[in-house]
C-alpha cells in the first residue's frame, strides 16, 4: 500500500487548520445531548467526517443498519455505550473502539443511567449533517428515499 496521490502542490505550506475549542456548543441538540460537527466532509474535502456524540442517560439510539458506501467507527470517550457489532451487543466503555466496514451491520445506544460520549468517524466523508438534522422530521412517505439518499439501510 502506498500514500494517496498528492493534493497540495505548494512549496511552503499554508495556514488552513481548523481549531474548535471544547467549549463550543453542539451543532445539533443541546449540551450533554447533542452532536458536534468536528470535521465535516466539506471541511475535509471528502476524506472523512468526524463527530462528537453526547448522549443523555437512557437516550437510546438507532436500530441495526448498514451503509453501502461509508465505513463507520466508534471511539468511546466517556460512559457506557452499547454497540452492536453485527453478532452481539457489547457494553463499550472509555477507550473502547469499534470499526464497521461498508456493509457491516451495526447499531449503538445509551441504555445506562449515566450520560455517554463518543467519537463517530465516517470514511470517506459523507454529508451526514442533513441526515442527523432532518431524520426526525421525515414523513413516512419520504422515509425510504431519504434513507437511500443518506446510505442508511435498516434491517
User: Over the stretch 115-139, which tens digit does the pLDDT of each residue have?
Assistant: 999 999 999 998 899 999 998 899 9
What one-character DSSP code corresponds to residue 5? P
Q: Transcribe 39-50 into DSSP letters.
A: E-TTTTTTS-EE
Residue 79 confidence (pLDDT) above 90: yes
In this prediction, residue 141 carries a pLDDT of: 95
In this prediction, residue 127 carries a pLDDT of: 86
Q: What residue ranges do the domains of the chain occupy?
A: 38-154
* Alpha-carbon span 153 to 43, nearest angstrom: 26
Which of 29, 31, 49, 47 shows the shortest CA–CA distance to 39? 49
CATH of domain 38-154: 2.60.120.10
Residue 90 confidence (pLDDT) above 90: yes
Sorting pLDDT into bands at 50, 70 and 90, what band is 71? Answer: very high
**What stretches of the chain show up as alpha helix (H) in DSSP?**
128-134, 140-149
* Alpha-carbon span 67 to 34, nearest angstrom: 22
Amino acid at each position: 500500500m502506498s500514500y494517496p496521490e498528492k493534493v497540495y502542490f505548494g512549496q511552503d505550506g499554508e495556514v488552513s487548520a481548523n481549531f474548535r475549542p471544547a467549549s463550543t456548543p453542539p451543532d445539533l441538540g443541546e449540551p450533554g445531548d447533542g452532536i458536534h460537527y468536528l470535521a465535516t466532509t466539506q471541511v475535509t474535502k471528502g476524506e472523512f467526517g468526524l463527530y462528537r456524540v453526547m448522549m443523555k442517560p437512557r437516550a437510546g439510539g438507532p436500530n441495526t443498519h448498514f451503509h453501502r458506501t461509508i465505513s463507520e467507527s466508534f471511539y468511546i470517550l466517556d460512559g457506557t455505550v452499547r454497540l452492536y457489532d453485527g453478532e452481539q451487543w457489547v457494553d463499550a466503555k472509555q477507550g473502547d473502539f469499534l470499526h464497521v466496514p461498508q456493509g457491516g451491520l451495526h447499531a449503538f445506544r445509551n441504555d445506562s443511567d449515566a450520560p455517554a460520549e463518543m467519537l463517530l468517524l465516517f470514511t470517506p466523508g459523507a454529508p451526514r449533517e442533513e441526515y442527523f438534522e432532518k431524520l426526525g422530521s421525515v414523513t413516512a412517505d419520504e422515509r425510504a428515499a431519504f434513507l437511500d439518499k443518506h446510505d442508511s439501510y435498516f434491517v
